[in-house]
Amino acid sequence: MQMVPDSYYYWYNRFATFISVVLIVASSATLLIPSLKHVGSDFGLSFATLFLAVLQLIYSSLIYRPKARANPWSATLLSAMLLTLTALTIIHNSGQFSSWFMVAWLILGFLSGIFGSYGVVGYSFLITIYFIIEETGPKTNGVIDPAAAASVIATYAVGFIGYMIWRTKFIDQESMRVKQLTGQLRSKEQQAEILIESITDGMIVVTPDGLVSLMNPAAAVMTEWETKEAMGIDVQLVIKFQTEDAKDVDSTENPFAKVFSTKEPVNETLQLIGRNGKQQIVSLVISPVIAHNSDKVNGAVAIIRDISEARAEEKRRADFISTASHEMRTPVAAIEGYLALAMNERVSSIDQKARSYLEKAHSSTQHLGKLFQDLLTSAKAEDGRLVNNPAAIEMGTFLDQLTDSLRFAAEKKGLLLDFMLGVSNHTSNAEKVVKPLYYVHVDPDRLSEVITNLFDNAVKYTETGKITIGLTGNNDVVQLYIKDTGPGIPADDLSHLFQKFYRVDNTTTRTIGGTGLGLFICKKIIELYKGRIWVESTEGSGSTFYINLPRLSTDKANQLIAQSTAQSTTPGPGPA
């Protein structure tokens, strides 16, 4: 019966081995050196002591280790028995119960408790048998030695004490693992609780039924709900959303409802309405909890970040840019006008050198005006102030007409311009298929701005070859693309291309120049219509910019066209 960890038994065996070595050396000396025989008698050393010590050493050296790997308790118990017999032999040879080695015997008795009841009983049994043999012989005349009786009683006492103390020191390996796991789980739970409580962003965990099962203090502050009150309540009652422009969010468009229906994460910016009416702009990320190897949604985790201050700062920055750009456009336009007059031969006479200076100044002024215009447009795009009048337009006709107006700019640089209808960029010309009408709901002026911007970039960066404007689609998406045969875009730049003020840093871009806002504005305009814009390019093999827009059915498009026609023909109110 194991009472202590395995290491205790290994240390006990080392202790027994050390005592054996000491006894072997001492016993051998007293037996081989005549002058030391009296020392051997005084310390109870004899041939029997030497024999038991050698047996102990052989056992510890050759047998103990492989046996201890299987069961250290039983292996060490045998070692303890040999040590106990050796100690009893020394006590017998050095004065029996009055020997001062009885102190060492009692120490061994205390240590026998590490073997449980088996060790204590065996240890007590040996001293009891020895006591009976010594105290019932003819030499005692029936008189029991008080020292002997006291030694036996002390042996029982220290054995019992050792048993009671050592039994609390051991936990079996399975129990130890359970205890460690329990401690780890408790520690993990505490760590998780501390982390959740410390997160400054709001965190809400929702059950598959849409009920709140966890809400941290930050979320409680944002929603103005007490954590205890919110538990078990429908999350759509606890968290009420509006769009940033204060429009109510339909229940089917609720972010939590979308996560459970689509089983996909949701990342949106909305206005959160607190229980007591507090309003704040928040960035919301909701992730579904899906079990491994299963498509069942077991809940959702929402992270809510208050970005009201950031939005306010963005608005202040956008207002400043808008005001500055608007105010600066006036003097720049005036300078541009005066420069144009100065270069007009009918108005003024200047020599050729002065004219070249004025032309450069005029070109720089035009570039500055374009920069201010782009800054103003980007600021409006960011805060939703872009003028937007969407209408149902048929992309085939729209692109055909727009391509005709752009053709001159391409031909002026010696480039060909193709318009391909109903052909994917990944489809050969031999696979042309006549497609149905491609209707989209966009502002034609804004879409024209995007396509023109992409086309102008293609012309600027393409020295030879052609530019292709294509249109294709399916039942859900209308896709248009603009492909060039220019130098291409490095792979490292592709992911940053639509960021504000980002420009590919190479010799060509530095020579041509630009504001770094054109593609950013294009992205914002396309996203305004729930579309997507991206680029595919291989350096040295040209680039292709793609635009995907939601497709309107013909019936829906005709309905929108009829409504627009009716509104434009409806007479306004007459004079009062």
pLDDT digits (tens, 9 = 90+) for 450-488: 999 999 999 988 999 999 999 999 989 999 999 999 988
Closest CA to 183 of 191, 169, 3: 191
What's 312-382's CATH class? mainly alpha
Distance between CA atoms of residues 98 and 177, nearest Å: 48
Q: Please enumerate, as own/partner, the contacts of 95-101 that have beta carbons within 8 Å and a separation of 24 or more.
A: 95/44, 96/134, 96/148, 97/131, 97/134, 97/145, 97/147, 97/148, 97/151, 98/145, 98/147, 99/44, 101/44
What torsion do the CA atoms of 306, 310, 312, 318 make, to the nearest 10 degrees? Answer: -150
Contacts of 215 (CB under 8 A, 6+ apart): 202, 203, 204, 205, 223, 225, 227, 230, 231, 238
Helix axes of 444-461 and 518-528: crossing angle, nearest 10 degrees: 150
pLDDT digits (tens, 9 = 90+) for 372-397: 777 777 777 776 677 788 999 999 99
Tell me which fold the domain 391-560 belongs to: Heat Shock Protein 90 (3.30.565)
Q: Which residue stretches of the chain have pLDDT < 70?
A: 1-3, 135, 137-143, 168-194, 196, 383-384, 423-436, 505-515, 568-576
User: Which residues sit opposite 306 in a β-bridge?
Assistant: 282
Q: Residue 121 has what pLDDT?
A: 83
What's 201-306's CATH class? alpha beta
Q: Residue 477 has what pLDDT?
A: 94
Would you say how long the chain is, in residues? 576
**In the chain, what are the domain boundaries?**
6-170, 201-306, 312-382, 391-560
Closest CA to 326 of 363, 380, 365, 388: 380
Report yes or no on whether pTM surpasses 0.85.
Answer: no
Asked if 485 and 434 touch (Cβ cutoff 8 Å), the reply is no
Q: Residue 3 has what pLDDT?
A: 64
Q: Residue 430 has what pLDDT?
A: 43
